[in-house]
Amino acid sequence: MTPPVDMTRTDDSGAPSGGAGSYERDGGAARRVRLDIAYDGSGFSGWARQPGLRTVQGTIEDALARILRSDARLVVAGRTDAGVHATGQVAHVDLDEAQWARATEARRGRETPADPVAALARRIQGVLRPYADAAVTRTSTAHAGFDARFSATWRRYAYRIADLAAGYDPLRRHDTTHVRARLDGEAMDAAARSLVGLHDFAAYCKPRPEATTIRTLLEFDWRRDEQGVLVANVKADAFCHSMVRALVGACVAVGEGRLGVADVVRLRDELTRTSAFAVREARGLTLTEVGYPADDQLAARAEQTRARRDPNEVIGSS
């Protein structure tokens, strides 16, 4: 079977130009910076900048623009939908020489760190202000060949569900879905594990014209945490739109006894969307980690991904 395409819904970024941390941008050299990002998605209309809407990308790009005194565009590992959170999102930005100078200028009374761009995260947070619902947790000079989007080899999500056995915690209301039933966590775990592997997940994806729905689901399992909350671990090379929330919805139907463990495989193999389960809400979903190869393999991975991508393909959060 043809391996799945791996790409996001962001626009293409510039290809590495060969020098360490150096890239071609608009005909001139640029410096690439990696940003590690976290956010509470409750107040955002998703990651991607949209006219008239508050988004994560727009918020962070606007903060960067104030520091750099010019616009800069973020390229992200995976675009998340409205209401989806992140603790491990990754993006990069290419800075021209003037922007690099502003990003790395020494701040009064502070030592210059070993990586001169490391202090940029603190400066961005200063613009976003205390208790912001988005944070750049780390900034660093990107390794040669690094591309937040195309170098990624996998993405990991968590989904939290509090059923009647776990109860309601108002302090986790933004990142936890509540189900008014007692769910069979062991049956949900068995159902999840049965879906792991390289398959066509058309039944668990929102269809898009001419886009592939073949994915490698690397890990999918459920456990109860110390508070009894059911937490899904979902890892794949890529996700098509609404895939994670649909997979969670099928497992909830198993946990409620409305579907059997074998049914989730049967529904997958039928390759069509079904009303047998409900796609769960975005509230419980968090992007927790993006995986990359070793530094000396970043450029090769990016080129490999570009070479095989389907121009109609997307990676959803969901």
Q: What is the pLDDT of residue 208?
A: 81
Task: Write down the catalytic residue from 36, 40, 81, 147.
Answer: 81
Residue the block writes with tokens 């996001």: 8
Q: 122 and 88 in contact (C-beta within 8 Å)? A: no
Q: 205 and 246 in contact (C-beta within 8 Å)? A: yes
* Active-site annotation holds for 81: yes
Split the chain (318 residues) into runs of 10 and give each run's mean pLDDT. Answer: 36 34 59 98 97 98 98 96 97 97 77 80 95 97 96 98 96 97 98 98 89 94 97 96 97 98 97 95 98 96 80 53
Q: 318 and 242 in contact (C-beta within 8 Å)? A: yes
Q: What is the pLDDT of residue 21?
A: 55
| H helix or E strand, kind and range, residue 182 | none
How many Cβ atoms from other residues are within 10 Å of residue 266's Cβ?
Answer: 13
Q: What is the pLDDT of residue 181?
A: 96
Q: Rounded distance, CA 190 to CA 114, Å? A: 48
Q: Rounded distance, CA 255 to CA 310, Å? A: 36
In this structure, the strands spanning 285-291 and 85-95 are parallel
CATH code at 22-151 = 3.30.70.580
Q: Rounded distance, CA 35 to CA 147, Å? A: 11
Structure tokens at 303: 């080129």
Radius of gyration of the chain, Cα coordinates, nearest whole angstrom: 20
Distances (CA, A) of 88 to 35, 63, 260: 10, 19, 33
Structure tokens at 91: 């993006």
Q: What is the pLDDT of residue 307?
A: 79
CATH code at 154-287 = 3.30.70.660
Q: What is the pLDDT of residue 318?
A: 59
Domains 22-151 and 154-287 share a fold: yes
- The ranges assigned to domains in the chain are 22-151, 154-287
Q: What is the pLDDT of residue 66?
A: 97
pTM for the full predicted model = 0.88
